[in-house]
Structure 1
C-alpha cells in the first residue's frame, strides 16, 4: 500500500497527529525488531535517518523472522496476538492517512478484536462497571463479566476504531447501543488508548 503512495512519508497520520507516515512505519519496524531480539534473534537497529522506503524494506525483510520466532515459542500466540493488533491498528491509521478505504475482509480482524475486547473488559472492571456485549456482523464478544448491562454494535471498522482509541466519545456514543452509552464511555480510555476529544476520522 505504501509502495503505491510514493512521497507520502511526511504526511501526517490523523489518528496519531504527532507522527508522520514515516514515523509510524519506524514504530512498526522498531516493534518488529524488539520482538525478534526478545526471542533470541539478532538486533537490527533502525537508523534515525532511514527514509520511509528504507523502513519499508526493513519491515518486509524482518517480518517473516518475527513470524517464525513467535510461532516457535510456546507463549507466542498471546504475544503474537498483541503484535497483530498493533500492526493492524496502525495499518488502518495509514489507510486513513492515505485516503485508502478500510478492508472489507482481513486476516487480522478477529484477532485484533479479541485483544481490544479483552483490554476493554479489564477497563470495565477497574471502573466498577458490569460487562457489555459487543456485536459486529458474524461475531459477538463479552467484555468484562456477565450478566451484561449494555450492548454495543455497529460496522466492524467503526467498532474496532472505537475500541482502539481512534474515535471521539461523541462518535462512540453515536454507535448502536442497547442502553445509555454515557456510563461506559470512560472505560474506552485504557492501556495505550485515549479517545480524541474531537473526531479525527469520519
Structure 2
C-alpha cells in the first residue's frame, strides 16, 4: 500500500476530539438515546456509547491502567462521564508510550461518531483530527484484504485529490469517490449496490469481496 500523504502522529491524535464531538451530539438530545443507529442496527445510541466506553477501558488496561469497576445499566450522561475519565488517563498513557498506539481505537471511535451523526441527521465535521489517521487504518486493512484474495492492486482516489494504492503491484483499476463516501465504503457502511455506483475505471465485481475484511462487511441494504 502506498499513500500520497504522510500519516499524522501521534496515532491517537484525534481521540479527545471524538469524545468532545460525541458529547456535543448527545448532551442536548436526550430523546434520541434509545434510537437505533442504522449503521449498527443491533445497537441503540446508548449501546453504541457503552461500546466506545468498553473499548477505551480495554485499551487502558493493556497500557497498564486500572479501569473503573464494571457498572451495568449506565445511561448516556453517566457513560459520557465515564468515557471521559477513562479517555483522559488513556490519552496520558498513550502519550507516555510515545504516541504510537491506539490508532485502531481512534478509527473505531471516529467511525462511530459518523454513525451517530448519520443517525441523528447531523452533517459530518468539515475537519477533524481523527480523519486522516482513521482513513489510513481503513486503507491499510482494505489493502491487506485485496492482497490476501490475490486481486490486482486498486487505486483509491478521493475527489479532493488524495490517493492510495491498495494491494500489491501496479494498480489495474481505480475507484474515485468523495472522501466521506470512500471512508464509509471502506468501513463497511455501503452496500454492494452502493459500491458499484462509485466511479470505477473497470467493472468493480472482482474487487467487491475485498470490502469484507476484519469486522467490516457491506450491509445487505443501502447504508448511511
Decide whether the 8 Å contact of 1:33 with 1:45 is kept in 2.
no
Decide whether the 8 Å contact of 2:188 with 2:216 is kept in 1.
yes
Deviations 1:64-108 (A, max 9, x none): 21111112225x52x321111111000001101111111121111
Structure 1 residue aligned with 2:215: 192
**1:34 partner SS:** helix
The CA distance in 1 between the partners of 2:210 and 2:141, in whole Å, is 10
| 1:153 maps to which of 166, 173, 176 | 176
**1:18 partner SS:** strand
Provide TM-score, normalisation by structure 1. Answer: 0.94
Alignment of 1:34-113 (within 5 A): 34-74=58-98, 76-77=99-100, 79-113=101-135
Q: Is 2:174 the partner of 1:174?
A: no
Q: Is 2:150 the partner of 1:128?
A: yes
The CA distance in 1 between the partners of 2:211 and 2:69, in whole Å, is 34
Decide whether the 8 Å contact of 1:26 with 1:46 is kept in 2.
no
What displacement does 1:133 show? 1.2
Provide TM-score, normalisation by structure 2. Answer: 0.85
Decide whether the 8 Å contact of 2:67 with 2:86 is kept in 1.
no
The CA distance in 1 between the partners of 2:178 and 2:29, in whole Å, is 27
What displacement does 1:46 show? 4.0
Q: Highest relative contact order (Cα 8 Å, sep 6+), 1 or 2? A: 2
The CA distance in 2 between the partners of 1:135 and 1:83, in whole Å, is 24
Cα distance change on mapping 1:180 and 1:19 into 2, 3 Å: same
What displacement does 1:61 show? 2.0
* Unmatched segments (≥5 aa) in structure 2: 1-24
Q: Is 2:128 the partner of 1:142?
A: no
Q: Is 2:139 the partner of 1:117?
A: yes
CA RMSD of aligned residues (A): 1.2
Q: Is 2:44 the partner of 1:20?
A: yes
The CA distance in 2 between the partners of 1:46 and 1:90, in whole Å, is 22
| 1:5 maps to which of 24, 29, 34 | 29
The CA distance in 2 between the partners of 1:189 and 1:36, in whole Å, is 29
Decide whether the 8 Å contact of 1:13 with 1:21 is kept in 2.
yes
